Amino acid sequence: MRRISLALGILCVAMTQANAELIINGATTSTTTPVTEPTVISNSSFSPNNNFQSCLANLRSAAIASGVSASAYDRYTQNLTPDYSVIDKLNYQPEFSTPIWDYMTGLVDQERVQKGQQKITQHRDVLNRVQAAYGVPVETVVAVWGVESNFGDISGKYPLLQSLGTLSCEGRRQSYFRGEFFAAMRILQRGDLTEDQLKGSWAGAFGHTQFMPSTYEELAVDFDGDGRRDLVSSTPDALASTANFLKKRGWQTGMPWGFEVKVPQGMSVAGESRRNKKSLGYWSNQGITRVDGTPLIQGNLSESSSAGLMLPAGANGPAFLVFRNFDAIYSYNAAESYALAIAHLSDRLQGKGEFVTPWPTDDAGTSRAERREIQQYLLQKGYDIGEADGLVGDKTRQAIRQEQSKLGLNPTGRAGQKILRTLRNQQAGQIMQ
C-alpha cells in the first residue's frame, strides 16, 4: 500500500498512502500512466552529506516531542547504522517506459487470479467478517493483498529503522521520512510488533498489504482480538486494516468501482478524466453504454450517480466510467494504473472476464509465466540474467535488446508477445533440426 509504486514522480506520487513505491516485476516503478521502470543510480554516485550519528542525535528532541520516549529513542538508535543503498533507490532515474498493457498484464494474470481465489477459499470466514464490518467486498481486499505483496510472499526485507533513519538524514524529503521514522518507533514502543518483524520496502512500507508506519498508526486494526495490531504475522489484522483504509477513504458499500464502457464513434473525449465526474444521465444522453451494449443505469445506480470517463490508453483503447470507489482504491497508491489493476483483479476474482476492448498495440504484454518462459530461453542462450523468476529487470531487458538487435527487430527491451513468439519459433526450429 505503498501509499506508493508504486514512487518519485514515483515517490512524491506515492507518498499519499503507505506505499512509497510500487514493486512491479522486481523493479520500483512509477505508478503514473505510462508506468516507468527506473534504473538505480550506482552507489558511487552518492556521498553522505552528514555524520549519521550526529543527525540521529539532532533528531532526538523532535522524536520525543512526537511521542517517542527518550529511553526508546536511545535504545532504537544506539547501534543503528545507515544503509545508503536506499538513497540510490530514492534517486532512481526513469530508463524504461512500461505501457499500461504491460503493467496490467503483469499484475493481473491467471496465476494471480487463481492464487487469489485460493486465498479467498482459505480465509473465507475472516474475509466474510471483514466485509460485514467494513462494507468492502472480499475480492477487493484480496486484490490489494495480491498486488501489494503477492499475498504475503513479497513484503520487503529492509529493516525499517535503518532505512527510514537513513532517509531521515540524507537525500530528499527528509521531513516526510522523519515522520515515518518516528512512527515506526512508536509502533515498537507500544509493543504491537518487534524490531525484527518491522521489515519492509526500502521506503518504509511493510506487512501483507504494505502500510507506511503513519498509515498503520491511523488505520491498522486488531481484528484477531489478541490485543496487537499485527500486519506482519496476522492475516486477519492485515485484511481488516486494508478494508478499514478503503472505508475511511470513502468506499461506498454496494456500489461498483466502475465498468468498461463503449464510447460512440466521433464523441469528443477531450478533457474527460476520473476527476471530471458527471451524472450517468449525462453519459447516457451522450450515447455511452456498458461495453456489452446494456444501459449504464443498473443495480444501485441512478441517473444522478456521478462518474468520470477514464481512457488510460487514449481514445483507441478501453474506456471506463469510474465512481467514488475507484477513487478510494486510488488513494491507496495515487496512480490510476494501480487503481485499475486492483479494480480489474477484484472483478476477475469474482469470475468476470478480461477487458473487451483490446489495448492499442500490436505487441501485447506477457504474463509472469510467459516472462519466465522468455527468461528461460535467454538463459539457454547463455545470457547472465539470474534465475527465471518472471521479474523483468535490467539484465533481462538488456538481453532482450541484444536478441532483438540480432533479429533485426526494434531493440526495445520489452518482454512482449513478439519476442516471446520469436524465441518459441527459434526453439521449435532447433528441435526440428
Sign of the dihedral through C-alpha 335, 336, 341, 342: positive
Q: Between helices 174-190 and 160-169, what is the axis angle to 10°? A: 150
Question: φ and ψ at 290, to 5 degrees?
Answer: -60, 160
Burial letters 312-330, b for 16+ CB under 10 A, else e: bbeeebbbbbbbbbbbbbb
Rounded to whole angstroms, how far apart are CA atoms 406 and 158? 39
Active site residue 148: yes
Q: C-alpha grid cell for residue 307?
A: 462518474
Which candidate in 148, 272, 373, 403 is catalytic?
148
* Amino acid at site 105: T
Do 364 and 421 form a contact (C-beta atoms < 8 A)?
Answer: no
Side-chain-facing half-sphere of 236: CA atoms under 13 Å? 14
Rounded to whole angstroms, how far apart are CA atoms 342 and 349? 11
By annotation, the residues acting in catalysis are 148
